Every structure is written in structure tokens, then in C-alpha cells.
Amino acid sequence: MKLPKKHADLDLFARMLKVFADTPWLHYGLWLDGEAPSFPKVRQAQERYVDKLLALLPPAPARILDIGGGTGAMAGRLASLGYAVEMLTPSEVQVGIARESLNGAATVHLSRLEDFAPDRQFDVCLFSESYQYIPLAASFAKLGVLLAPGGRVVIADCFRSDGFKGGRAIGGGHRYSEFERAVAASEFAITSNEDVTALAAPSIEIDRMLYRDVLSPVVAQLGELLEEKRPFTHWLATRAYGLFVGARERQRIADRLRAEYRTPELFVANNTYRFMTLERR
């Protein structure tokens, strides 16, 4: 199963964070007021995120379905706390990594939410930065089937705010106004809702540092070295890049490396990051 391009970007970002910040988490961190983002502080900021998410869950041993659980870091944390955990991911690569790292502590399913058909219901359906990948129109009907009576949906994710006018901008997710309308049309109601956009936004500076200050200089230096030492090989590589990578994709890569459109300020202007719980009316 081929991952969408955005998932491939996330995989690269995860590898870089593992090297530079020694963290298993891929999600945003929550930063203290006035705290300067830096690689040594990334994991601490991400653990604040985890603590806030855990505070929205019922006590163990509740049955939790971790939807879009990636490589299993959250499922592993939940299992270690005594929860009965199953997780979904549509990525064969992530399933393999998760099953190996969890070593039976949680059940891992290769599936999209839309296709998942378990023989049980869950006390919590959890989305940790995965709800933005779920088709909005179909999500609540499916959650109604998966959720046990008295259960809750927990969402921690980014949404597009009214400030987003379209085009390319840092952040993403469903438009928050459309999400609210979908909730109103469903059997669910929002029971808690915290806006943490300002706390999450400094994480974008870490993204900028990784791409602008680490990856971009390395790519440039390798190109210059190859041109100096192996000019014919450099010419061939440049030609191949132009032939096999389209103009739009080349521009996307160049923009990504410059990271000029990826700033905390632009994130705040275009997005709202929420920690929410939903329950049946």
C-alpha cells in the first residue's frame, strides 16, 4: 500500500527527530510561554502533549482504539499504563514497525478506519494527529458503530481556521467550521474543547531548523562537492533530476528546504489546534 506524499514527509521528519531530538514521538510539542524551541527540549514538549492527551482518557483498563497509530509509540505508552489497546494504520511499513516495537502489547491492524470491522466495541476512539486524514463525511457514522455505550471520542489535531484562505500554508486538517457542522449533524456532541494553538506553534520552528538549517545545507554541500570532484556525475544527476522529477515537485522540494512559508506566526494565522472529547448525545 503506497503512502500518500504527506505521510512520506512525516516518515522523513520522524527519522530526523529521532536523530536530533532522541524522541519516538512524531506529534507536535506543547511549549511553555516564552520557552525557546530547541532540539534538546523537543521531547519534553512532546511529553506535555502526551500528558494532556492522557488526561482526557477514562481510567485503565478501558478499551482504546488508537486510529492512525503510526509506528505504535502511543499504543505502547497506553498499554504500559494498563489499557487494552488496538491500533489501526493503513501503512504496511508502519504496521511492521509497530508490531515489532509493541511485541504483542497491543493488537495492530493494517486497515483504514472506513474498512475496519472488529468483533468488539471500544471505550475510546483516539485520534492523535490522525483525524485530519479521515474523510469527514463518513467519520461519525463509523465511530457510532465502533464506540461502546458511554464511550468517548478523543481528538488531538490541527484544523484549518477561518484565517486560512486557501493555497499553500503551514498546517492542515479539516476546516474547523466544517468539522463543527459535521458534529452538529451527527449523534455526537463536543464535551470538552481546548485550543492549544499558541502552545503548539513553536514546534514549527523545530521543523524549520531541521529543513533549513540541517537538511538544506547538507544537500547544497553535497551538490557542490559532487560538482567539484565528479563533474560528469553531477551533470548526469542534474539531468536525471530534471527528467524524472516534475517541475511542480521540484518547486515543492525547493520550498520545503527553504522553509520560508513555515513559521509559527503563519501557523497561528491559518490553523487552530484542538484537544477535544466527544460523546453521544
pLDDT tens-place string over residues 119-135: 999 999 999 999 999 99
> CB 55: neighbour CB atoms within 10 A?
9
Poorest-pLDDT segment among 51-55, 71-75, 153-157, 243-247: 243-247
> Where does the pLDDT of residue 259 fall: very low under 50, low under 70, confident under 90, or very high at 90 and above?
low
Average pLDDT over the chain reads 86
pLDDT tens-place string over residues 72-87: 999 999 999 999 999 9
Q: What pLDDT does 218 receive?
A: 66
Poorest-pLDDT segment among 54-58, 126-130, 180-184, 226-230: 226-230
> Where does the pLDDT of residue 180 fall: very low under 50, low under 70, confident under 90, or very high at 90 and above?
very high
In which residue are the cell numbers 486510529 written?
Answer: 67
Q: What pLDDT does 159 receive?
A: 98
Do 121 and 146 touch, CB atoms closer than 8 A? yes
pLDDT at 5 over 50: no
Q: What pLDDT does 3 receive?
A: 41
Percentage of residues in the chain with pLDDT exceeding 90?
62
Do 40 and 17 touch, CB atoms closer than 8 A? no
| Residue 217 to residues 10, 17, 210, 249, 257, Cα–Cα distance (Å) | 20, 17, 10, 20, 9
pTM above 0.85?
no
Distance of CA 56 to the CA centre of its chain: 19
Give me Rg for the CA atoms of the chain: 20
